[in-house]
Structure 1
């Protein structure tokens, strides 16, 4: 029997922690605290690295036991093999739980990315207003890019 349950338990625990970090990240984005956001980003990276490591161990183990093709291992092969196993109900339920948590984390991360994008656009607009730039008035530079035309009457100069 292949010892997959401990790996999936570890992945599940990491996904639960990642979900909590994503929730805290959303709160930090709402309060716009850059130090908190950077701290949470490093926590997310550490959790994702741990999940990747556990997933690599799982894949190596499945290749070693002949479940996956060593040249082209895929999750499709794993799921097909797992569905044929009668005595691995605990692993099947852990896999389902991990998939559910992973989808929730992906959705939460996309939501946070949209919030961050909105904040970046808002900050850029505010900076342009302070600098006296108008988005509609742009000129071409010597290398073919565009840049805003600045006004002589900026809030920053007042």
Structure 2
């Protein structure tokens, strides 16, 4: 029998931790605490590296046992093979849990990305206001691009 359970269990645990980190990241984005956001980004990277390493081990193990084609390995081949196995219900359950957790982490990460994009847009607008730029008043430069006209009466100069 192929020892997949320990690797899949590790991946599942890492995905659960990643989900928790993503929820904490959303809270940190809401409070706009840069130090916490940087710390959580580091934790995310560590967890993702661990998941990638475990997944690479899983792929090499499946290639070694002849389940995946060594030239073109794909998860579809593994899932087809797994469906054909009658006595691997624990592995099937772990794979299903990992896929569910992965989908959840993707949704949470996309939500955090949208929040971050909104914050960046807001900060850029506020920064332009402080510089006295108005998005509606723009002039063309010599190379054809546009740039905002700067007001002489900026909040920063007041």
What is the CA-CA distance between 1:145 and the residue it aligns to?
2.9
Residue aligning to 1:62: 62
What is the CA-CA distance between 1:28 and the residue it aligns to?
0.2
What is the number of equivalent residue pairs in this alignment? 158
- Structure-1 separation of matches of 2:53 and 2:142: 48
Over the aligned positions, Cα root-mean-square deviation in angstroms equals 0.8
Provide runs of 4+ in structure 1 moved above 4 Å.
Answer: none
- Structure-1 separation of matches of 2:141 and 2:75: 50
Residue aligning to 2:109: 109
**Residues 1:145 and 2:145 aligned together:** yes
Residue aligning to 1:122: 122
Matches within 5 A, 1:62-81: 62-81=62-81
- Structure-1 separation of matches of 2:132 and 2:3: 64
TM-score normalised per structure 2: 0.98
Alignment gaps of 5+ in structure 2: none
- Structure-2 separation of matches of 1:132 and 1:65: 66
- Structure-1 separation of matches of 2:34 and 2:143: 34
Q: Secondary structure at the match of 1:108?
A: helix
TM-score normalised per structure 1: 0.98
